[in-house]
Each structure stands twice: as C-alpha cells, then as structure tokens.
Amino acid sequence: MAELRSRLAGVRVFVVEDEFLVSIALEDDLREAGAIVVGPFNDLGSGLDGAAREAFDVAVLDVNLNGTMIYPLADELMARGLPLMFLSGYTAADMPQRFATLPRLTKPYDLTRLIDAIARLAPPRED
Amino acid sequence: MGTGDQMASLDAFNQPLGLKAAPTLELLATPDYRTILDRLPSAVYTTDTEGTLTYFNPAAAELAGREPRLGTDKWCVSWKLHHPDGRPMPLSDCPMATALREQRPVRGVEIIAERPNGERVPVLPFPTPFYDGAGRFAGAINLLVDLSRLKAAERQVERHASEQAALYRFTDRLYRATSDEDVYAAALDAIVDALGCDRASVLMFDARGVLRFVGSRGLSETYCRAVDGHSPWRPTDTDPAPIFIDDILASTQSEALKQAVTAEGISALAFIPLVSDGRVVGKFMTYHDKTHHFSEAERALAVTIARQLGFAVAKRRTETELRNSLERLKLATEAGKVGLWDWDIPGDRILWTDSLYGLHGIDKGEFTQTFADWVGMVHPESRGTVLGAIDRALKDDAPYDVEVRTAGRDGRDTWLYTNAVVLRDGERPVRMVGAAVDITSRKQAEQQRDLLVAELSHRVKNTLATVVSIARQSFGKTATIETARKSFEGRLRALAQTHTRLAEANWGGVPLATLVADELTPYRVEDGSNLSVEGPAISFTAKQAVVLGMALHELATNAAKYGALTTKAGRVAVHWGDAKGGPFTIEWRESGGPPVVAPQHSGFGRLLLERALAADLRGAVALDFRPEGLVCRITLPLESTEGAQPGR
C-alpha cells in the first residue's frame, strides 16, 4: 500500500459514478493513492458541467448513470484529447465501436489495476 | 401462208435440235440426219399427213415404254394418253393430231403418257408440221420432252417448301404457346403436315417415369390404352436413337405391340425421342396406314421436329418454374416483406420494386437510383461491411449475403438482409440482382436482448461494488470484528431483501410501505402496538428503493440497538406524504425509548442517510436527536418522486 500511496501523487482524477456507496469507496481509494478527486459527479448533466468547469488530468467514468449513458461526455473528452477510462459493469461488446480501444475496468475493481490504468493515462507529476 | 412464216414458226423447234434449216422430208430422210435423230436422247417421231407413224427414235420407244409399230400406230408412240388432270385423252385429240389436222405447230399443251405397265409420264410435246421440197404438206415431227424429272424436282421443291412452312408454323406456334396443350397441338400439326403421316401422337414421361399420351391425332382410345406406358427408352437415357419401323409385321417388336398396332390399322410407325436438357423426356410417334419407307429426308425432318419440341418443352418447364417463383416473389413483395433490386453497373442505375421504397421509408422521387445515392442511405455503421461485400462479390464472385442497416430519410432505422448474384459479360460484372428482406424486428429483438444482458451485468457488478463498499464501511472503524460482521450481514440482508422485492416486481418499482415493513417487521410486537406505518401508496424505482431500503435498515437497527425498539414502551412511527402540496416527506419518529444522546462520531448509518440519500435521491435528511426519541425527516424533491409511481 505504501507503494500505491504515491502512485497518483498530484494527479487530478475526474470521477463520474452514480452509485453513492461505490463513489465514496472510489474516492477514498484515489485519495489514498495521492490523487486529487474532481467530483464525484453522479449524473450526466453534472458530469458535463463539471468537465467544462474543472481542470483535470484523467477521467474515470461509469457508463450507465441510472439509465443514462455516459457517451456524450466520453465523446466530448475524446474530442478534447483528454485521457479517459471506463469503470463499469459493461463489456466492450455492449458499448459503441468508437470506445472499443479505451481502457476499461469492471466493477468491483481491483485497486492495483485501477491505479495502474490511471497512472498509464496520466503519469504523476515530478514536482 | 408463206414459207417465211413457217420458217419463223419452226424456229422454236429448230433451236433445241440445233438445226439451221427447216426440216424437210428429204432432209429427214438423209442417212446423216437419221443417225443424229436416232442418237438423240430426246424422244422424236414422225408421221405422214394422216398421222401414221413413219419414224421414231429409241428414246421415243423408251418414253412410250413399248416398241411402237411403224405404219400402224397413229398420232403417237404412246399406248394411252391422259390430260394432266388425269382424264383420258383420245389419241386422235392429242397435240400431234391437232398439229396435223390444222397444219400448225402446237405448243405448251402438257399430256400424260401411260406406259403399258401402268406408269404415267408427264410429257411436253412439240408437234410441228413439215413440208416437202415443193412446199407441200408432208407430215409432222414431234419432240417429246419427259417432264417426270422436272415434275419430281418440282414436287421436291414443293414438299421442301411445305416442310419449311410447317416447321415455320410450328416454331411460331411454339413461341406463342401459353400452355403445354398448345405445345403438343402445334407439334401434332407439324408432324402430320411436315412428315405426311396419317396419324401422330406425343407422349411424355410423367412424374413416376411412365410414358403417357399427352396428345394424339387419329388414334383410338383402345389403342392408346393398349400401348400406354410402352417405351423404348427410360427417362434417364441420355442419347436415345429414333426407331423407324417400315413394316410392323416384319419387325422384331413384341407380339403384343404388333397386335395392338395392327388392330389399329397401322403398318408403319416411327418412335422419335424428345430430349430436353440432355435427357429423354418423351417421344412423338408417326403412323402410316400402309407400309412406308422412311427416307433419310423424313428421318432428318423428324429429328428436327423432335429437337424443336424438346426445346419447347424445356422452355415451357423453365417458364413455368420461373412464373411460379416470380408469382411467389410478387406475392411476397406485395406483402412488403421482400424487395427486389437490380443494379445496372455500367449504366449506374438501380431499379427497385415498390416494396423496397416502402422498406427504406422513402417515396419514389426521393431515390435518384444511383449507386452513390444508395450508399448514402446505408447507415455509416453498415457502410464498411456492405461496400466490402460488394467489392468481393464483383471481384472474386464471393457470395453477397449481408445484413444492412439503412438510415431511412424518415429517420427510421431499418435492417435489411440482402443477397444477390452478379451477372457478367465475360469477366466484366454488368449487373447485380438481389432480394432484400426486412429483419428490423429481429434486429431490434437482438438489440433488446443485448441491452438486457448488458443491463443485468451492470446491475450485478454495481451491486457487488456496493457490497465491497458496505464491507469497507462496516469493518473500517468499528471496534470489534464480531460487531462488524453482524452489521455487515444485516446490511447485506437488507440489500438482498430490496433486490428480492425488485425482482418480484420485475424491476418495476417497490412500494414504500413494503420497504418500511421489511425493515420493521422483525421488531413488531404481537399486537403491533409498537409500530405505526402510514402513508399514501407510492412506489420507488430500483435505485431509489435500494438506497431507501438501506437507509431504513440503518434507522431500524439503530432503534433496535440504542433507541425506541430497546424498550417495551418504545414506539416507532413512520409516516409519509406530500401534505398541503409541499415536498414529499418521510418522517421516522421514535418515542418511549431511553433518553437519546447524540452520537459522538458519524457512522455508516449517518453516511448513508445524510449523503447517499442526498446523492442518489437528491433528498434532504434532517436527524434530530431529541431526548424523547430520534426524529428523522427525509424530504424528497418532486423530481425524485416523479420516477416514483403511485401504487399499492
């Protein structure tokens, strides 16, 4: 854990997750890894607003937000060239082709793999 | 009458003989001239002025078929004469007699000479009077031209013309035939006309491979029944030869067949196989009442007719199959289930059946019928697949067999299954013709199923993630493992209970009364006096129900551990509603328990109530730790209850 603690030092992670209990656990985990959590946002509207307003290095997105799909936000982040990954119960086959190459982890997630995936997308700052 | 006139009138006669001068008695009498006449292949004879035979050459005797008698026979070397129409012609009326009587040449009158053996020879005579040196009438010379060869040639030409006409009529009728009966009737007429037989029939193999009469001319029913099924060939024979029987009695056919044929008054017959697509499909028969020699020409003609008939039968069968399949297709296209398309590749023009316009949800004017316009109608998601398949079909003749998503101009998506064949001019593809079927409903069902599977996966995994989070909350800050385990198990049971309720309602929603009852029932005293649950019927959606269920679980366990449910006098009242048009409120009120002390730290219960309800239902939760009992007021905005439905 000591190792994980600094893996995401200073990385601003934008989180959209609609399940409160899941989001608090995720928030705790990311903070412990040294990340700064932007969010969590729990629906598409607040997610879009948050993404427009806040600065962040990487986004971790749930796919199904109480029946609404995250795709418009994912499209926008891709258009802006911001790295993103999905954290979801969905498989690649359930999602549109254009997202097939993006990193994806299944819930419940393995913490080490989550942090690895985020670190690959947004390496911690040296400063 | 001057000599010049006679000279002139003799010219026609002179020419064939190559004579430069008019024949005179003296000239004819010269030995040289006799020699010439004797050796002439044409029949020549002379008479005196009375018509008595004075000279004939060997050719004349041959034509007459007898040895004429000089000085006795009169008018002619022949035995008997006839008019061309067959009436007898007295010898004294023959053209030679006329020429002698009237002292003039007679031309262009045809006669028939009968030989003593009965043979009749058509003859064109050239009787011409002649004169002696003093110009006196001396007799007549006659040249007889045998017309039989010419007549035979004429008849041959006529017969050939009539055969050709019969074949032409046959071909024409086959072309116009609209039924099998038309084909057989045309064939029977052609057989009788062209082959000059007395009777004819056509027989075809039936479905069981038995040869059956399908048409006949002049045959009795008895005969047809007697020979029905008889066949020199089997339906599988590939190279059958025609059979010609000049005389049935002299043939090697079976006695039964001989008997049937003879009883019908037939002496000669021919079996001509009909071949279609390389297989014998039937035969036609010609019958002659008398024994008959089938000439080479007749045989060739019979085979020609058989070939024509075979083509016609094959064509009819193909047409029938085509018509049947076209009718089926027409029915299907009219029902709107199937569309047909035909792409003229070099001309870049696509033809659609009306049904395809319907399937694409567009009107006729909206499609310019070009390939590019059609590609524009294919949904971008399908475009790569479709263009790739077309490319492979055109280049490599790969089967074209794809599911195409079309983006209709009415905004409606349609899925079509289409397959097609490529028609080529040599190597070059010139046409692509295909059929398309609407499979939208199947695709929608597939998509629906995929969605459900994805949704289920999402729910299961979210639930597991929630369980992980609950575990972390339960074990994180609690003093003992035992307490933590109990809390964790209780929370899992609450979560499972809500899921059971959702499953029972087919994930449609759970009534609030049920959620409350599920948490409080374990603490209910026998008469139920410690609980009061009241409120209008309202149901919550799956996600709201899960959070509410867990919140109610935390409230109930808290009451059972520290609050009103720890004493006999304690009471819990849960009331809800939207009194006076205000926000929807759920009030949890405890009373009669031990005096309440506000907790020192915020546990999982408070986290869930104060933050989870706020996050997941946008609710506001007020916890009031009054000494007489805890009051928890959950206020839900109207938008959160919009998804909730009034219900039991």
- Same domain for B509 and B618, yes or no, is yes
- Using DSSP's 3-state secondary structure scheme, residue A21 falls into helix
Among candidates B450, B454, B461 on the partner chain, residue whose Cβ is nearest the Cβ of A106: B461
Contact assignment for B615 to A42 by CB distance below 8 Å: yes
Q: Which residues on chain A are in Cβ contact (under 8 Å) with B616?
A: 18-20, 42
- Same domain for B342 and B319, yes or no, is no
Q: Mean of the pLDDT values across residues B564-578?
A: 90
Structural domain contains residue B23: yes
Whether B165 shows a pLDDT value over 60: the answer reads: yes
Structural domain contains residue B126: yes
Interface of B with A in 535-564 (CB under 8 A): 543, 547
* A21 in B contact zone (CB under 8 Å): yes
Structural domain contains residue B633: yes
Q: Which residues on chain B are in Cβ contact (under 8 Å) with A39?
A: none
How confident is the prediction for chain B on average, in pLDDT?
83
Structural domain contains residue B128: yes
Higher pLDDT, B82 or B601: B82
The Cα angle at residue B622 between residues B617 and B625, in degrees rounded to 5:
145
- Stated as kind and residue range, the H or E segment containing B415 is strand B413-425
Longest dimension (CA), chain A: 41
Q: pLDDT at position B3, please?
A: 41
Q: pLDDT at position B22, please?
A: 46
Q: Which two tokens stand for residue B434?
A: 């295909």
pLDDT tens-digit readout, B63-88: 899 999 988 899 988 889 999 888 99
Instruction: Pick from A20, A43, A71, A91 the residue to mutate for testing the B interface (most B CBs within 10 Å).
Output: A20
CA distance, residue A24 to nearest chain B CA (Å) = 8
Task: Name the residue with tokens 């002299």.
Answer: B250
Structural domain contains residue B12: yes
Whether B573 shows a pLDDT value over 90: the answer reads: yes
CA distance, residue B539 to nearest chain A CA (Å) = 17
Q: pLDDT at position B240, please?
A: 86
Higher pLDDT, A30 or B461: A30
Which residues are CB-neighbours of A116 under 8 A, at least 6 positions away?
Answer: none
The residue type found at B647 is G
Structural domain contains residue B53: yes
Contact assignment for A21 to B469 by CB distance below 8 Å: yes
Domain limits at B574?
A: 505-646
Q: Mean of the pLDDT values across residues B431-437?
A: 85
Which residues are CB-neighbours of B43 under 8 A, at least 6 positions away?
Answer: B56, B57, B59, B60, B62, B63, B64, B77, B143, B144, B145, B146
Provide the β-strand partners of residue B305. Answer: none
Residue B57: CATH number of its domain: 3.30.450.20
Confidence of residue B446 (pLDDT cuts 50, 70, 90): confident
Contact assignment for B465 to A97 by CB distance below 8 Å: no
Instruction: Pick from A21, A64, A109 the residue to mutate for testing the B interface (most B CBs within 10 Å).
Output: A21
Q: Which residues on chain B are in Cβ contact (under 8 Å) with A91?
A: 454, 457
pTM comes to 0.47
Higher pLDDT, B97 or B13: B97
Domain boundary among B421, B440, B459: B440
Longest dimension (CA), chain B: 184
- Same domain for B310 and B378, yes or no, is no
Calculate the alpha carbon distances from B608 to B228, B347, B415, B469 in Å: 97, 71, 47, 11
Task: Kindly tell me the sign of the dihedral angle through the C-alpha atoms of B259, B264, B265, B269.
Answer: negative
CA distance between the termini of chain B: 143
CA distance, residue A41 to nearest chain B CA (Å) = 9
Q: Mean of the pLDDT values across residues B335-346?
A: 80
Lowest mean pLDDT, pick from B152-156, B246-250, B624-628? B152-156
Q: Which residues on chain B are in Cβ contact (under 8 Å) with A109?
A: 465
Higher pLDDT, B194 or B601: B194
- Same domain for B312 and B340, yes or no, is no
* B457 in A contact zone (CB under 8 Å): yes
Contact assignment for B616 to A89 by CB distance below 8 Å: no
Among candidates A21, A89, A97 on the partner chain, residue whose Cβ is nearest the Cβ of B470: A21
Lowest mean pLDDT, pick from B118-127, B272-281, B321-330? B321-330
Structurally, how many domains does chain B consist of?
4
Contact assignment for B611 to A25 by CB distance below 8 Å: no
pLDDT tens-digit readout, B354-403: 888 888 888 888 888 899 999 988 988 889 999 999 999 999 888 888 98
Q: Which residues on chain A are in Cβ contact (under 8 Å) with B611?
A: 20, 24
Structural domain contains residue B32: yes
Whether A20 shows a pLDDT value over 70: the answer reads: yes
CA-based nearest residue in chain B for residue A108: B465
- Same domain for B89 and B185, yes or no, is no
Task: Name the residue with tokens 């995401």.
Answer: A8
CA nearest neighbour of B640 among B624, B626, B619: B619
Whether B461 shows a pLDDT value over 50: the answer reads: yes
Task: Kindly tell me the sign of the dihedral angle through the C-alpha atoms of A105, A110, A111, A113.
Answer: negative
Higher pLDDT, B97 or B460: B97
Among candidates A24, A42, A108 on the partner chain, residue whose Cβ is nearest the Cβ of B461: A108
Structural domain contains residue B123: yes
- Same domain for B322 and B181, yes or no, is yes
* A100 in B contact zone (CB under 8 Å): no
How far apart are the C-alpha atoms of B296 and B298, rounded to whole Å?
A: 5
Which residues are CB-neighbours of B543 under 8 A, at least 6 positions away?
Answer: A18, A66, B616
Instruction: Pick from B457, B467, B640, B642 the residue to mutate for testing the A interface (most A CBs within 10 Å).
Output: B457
How confident is the prediction for chain A on average, in pLDDT?
85
Calculate the alpha carbon distances from B344 to A95, B87, B370, B416 in Å: 39, 72, 10, 21
Among candidates B450, B460, B472 on the partner chain, residue whose Cβ is nearest the Cβ of A94: B450
Contact assignment for A63 to B381 by CB distance below 8 Å: no
Domain boundary among B326, B355, B376: B326
- Same domain for B513 and B616, yes or no, is yes
Backbone angles phi, psi at A2, to 5 degrees: -60, -35
Domain boundary among B303, B326, B349: B326
Interface of B with A in 588-647 (CB under 8 A): 607-608, 611-612, 615-616
- Using DSSP's 3-state secondary structure scheme, residue B36 falls into helix
- Same domain for B183 and B318, yes or no, is yes
Calculate the alpha carbon distances from B48 to B74, B492, B567 in Å: 9, 150, 172
Higher pLDDT, B329 or B613: B613
| Percent of chain B's residues with pLDDT above 70 | 89
pLDDT tens-digit readout, B254-294: 888 888 899 999 999 999 998 887 788 899 999 999 999 99
Contact assignment for B470 to A88 by CB distance below 8 Å: no
How far apart are the C-alpha atoms of B304 and B293, rounded to whole Å?
A: 18
Whether B17 shows a pLDDT value over 50: the answer reads: no
CA-based nearest residue in chain A for residue B470: A21
- Same domain for B190 and B140, yes or no, is no
Task: Name the residue with tokens 């509603």.
Answer: B577
pLDDT tens-digit readout, A71-116: 999 999 999 989 999 988 777 777 888 888 889 888 888 888 888 8
Q: Which residues on chain B are in Cβ contact (under 8 Å) with A46?
A: none
Which residues are CB-neighbours of A84 under 8 A, at least 6 positions away?
Answer: A58, A59, A60, A61, A74, A77, A78, A102, A121
Between strands B137-146 and B120-125, the pairing is antiparallel
Which residues are CB-neighbours of B391 under 8 A, at least 6 positions away?
Answer: none
Q: Which residues on chain A are in Cβ contact (under 8 Å) with B457?
A: 89-91, 94
The Cα angle at residue B356 between residues B350 and B357, in degrees rounded to 5:
90
Q: pLDDT at position B15, please?
A: 40
Residue B638: CATH number of its domain: 3.30.565.10
- Same domain for B372 and B313, yes or no, is no
A4 within 8 A of A33, measured Cβ to Cβ = yes
| Percent of chain B's residues with pLDDT above 90 | 18
Residue B274: CATH number of its domain: 3.30.450.40
How far apart are the C-alpha atoms of B237 and B340, rounded to whole Å?
A: 39
Q: Mean of the pLDDT values across residues B306-321?
A: 80
- Same domain for B131 and B257, yes or no, is no
- Same domain for B223 and B247, yes or no, is yes
